[in-house]
Amino acid sequence: MATIKEIAKKAGISYSSVSRALNNQTGVRPEIRKKVLEIAQELNYHPHSSAKALVQNRIGVLGVVIPRTSEFAFQNPYYSHMLLGLSSVANDMGYHLMLVINQQQSYASLYHSHLVDGIIVLANRIDDHYIPELVRDNVPAVVVPGYPDGWEFDIPSVNSENYQDVYRAITYLINLGHRDIAFILGGMNSNYSLVRLEAYKAAFRDKGLEYKDKYIKESDFSKTDAFRLMGDLLNLPDPPSAVISINDATTPGVLHQINSRGLRIPKDISVVAIGCSDLVDLTDPPLTTIKVPVTQVGRAAARFLIELIEKGECRERHVVIPSALVVRESTGVWPNR
């Protein structure tokens, strides 16, 4: 493959001049530059990224770590939307994306071995072993979502309004008259679950009401588990009048359980779904949703990380992307007559 030296030889100049010509640097005559570019084209020259990286100490790659171990988690459209956002910004800013799924290896080593310039950790869990290392070793890194307030260490993060959203949704349901509101959560090692459960409780408290533990169900983020738990809820002597489902993986399970019992939404039970999938408006009826702007979160995370890499610091360490409660037809007043 063509190298800079070959171009230099062919053009009859030194290879430092070739380098300068190719990189749009000053100090090379226009006609020489033109000639160099022509020869480069002709030889199908491409700069050797490793050689470049070696001397510039920058490879132009962002590491994207998806630490989840279970297959179903990755099926969640969450990751597609996120990657889309990350990718669009990375492309625009001249970076590539290295995707690391569930590697049983320290994330920091990706950085230490100069494979990536920085790291984005997606859907981190509260008990993720490898994250403290990123902080300790000063690795440019952003986690999505961040840790709950008052966490033991501080690492840059991007969040959507996880807390506010659930708070708004519960308040909305309470205002509709609901009191027995079920919450299908994910595992409590998920930061999403933690923060959203806090919001759930707070919304009740702030209305002067009591929430009931029996309506709070901890799933493994799978549709089948959600199906099972929703079944348990509907088997209660006093089943909930509303349910909120934590993500796009659990929602189909919830809906399927409700439908299979012949219950009508929202007449018999109201449903609020949290997620980013557009499928919600294809359900019957269209779902009231906490629309999580995942692609935008991804875009923000990429921008954030690149700033961290290039400037070495960041203005704000915790970015929050606003989101919205979209009221459609799956929620209604209670009791319904």
> In the set 64, 174, 230, 321, which binds a copy of itself (CB under 8 A)?
64
For residues 280 and 323, the answer to whether their CB atoms sit within 8 Å is no
> In the set 29, 112, 205, 264, which binds a copy of itself (CB under 8 A)?
112
Residue with tokens 């990657």: 83
Pick one of a copy of itself, DNA, none as the site partner of residue 19 (Cβ within 5 to 8 A by kind): DNA
2-41: contacts with a copy of itself (CB under 8 A): none
For residues 162 and 105, the answer to whether their CB atoms sit within 8 Å is no
The secondary structure of 71-127, three-state, reads HHHHHCHHHHHHHHHHHHHHHHCCCEEEEEECCCCCCHHHHHCCCCCEEEEECCECC
Q: How far is the CB of 305 from a copy of itself (least distance, A)?
A: 15
CA angle 286, 287, 290 (to 5 degrees): 140
101 binds DNA (CB under 7 A): no
> In the set 67, 145, 253, 266, which binds a copy of itself (CB under 8 A)?
253
Select from 5-13, 160-168, 264-272, 276-284 the region that touches a copy of itself (CB under 8 A).
276-284
214 binds DNA (CB under 7 A): no
> In the set 79, 215, 304, 334, which binds a copy of itself (CB under 8 A)?
79
30-89: contacts with DNA (CB under 7 A): 30, 32, 45-48, 51-52, 54-57
207 binds a copy of itself (CB under 8 A): no
Q: How many residues sit close enough to DNA to count as binding (CB under 7 A)? A: 31
Pick one of DNA, a copy of itself, none as the site partner of residue 44 (Cβ within 5 to 8 A by kind): a copy of itself
Q: How far is the CB of 203 from DNA (least distance, A)?
A: 53
Alpha carbons 291 and 334: distance in angstroms, whole number: 23
CA 106 from chain center: how many Å?
20
292 binds a copy of itself (CB under 8 A): no
Task: Please spell the DSSP secondary structure of 192-205, one letter per residue.
Answer: HHHHHHHHHHHHHH
The one-letter code for the residue type at 327 is V
The DSSP secondary-structure symbol of 241 reads: S
> In the set 113, 150, 152, 213, which binds a copy of itself (CB under 8 A)?
113
Residue with tokens 């009191």: 179
CA angle 272, 273, 276 (to 5 degrees): 145
Residue 289, sorted as left (phi over 0), alpha (psi -120 to 50) or beta, turns out to be beta
309 binds DNA (CB under 7 A): no
Binding stretches for a copy of itself (CB under 8 A): 1, 44, 46-51, 53-54, 59, 61, 64, 71-72, 74-77, 79-81, 83-84, 87-88, 91, 96-103, 109, 112-115, 137, 223, 227, 252-253, 256, 259-260, 277-279, 282-284, 295
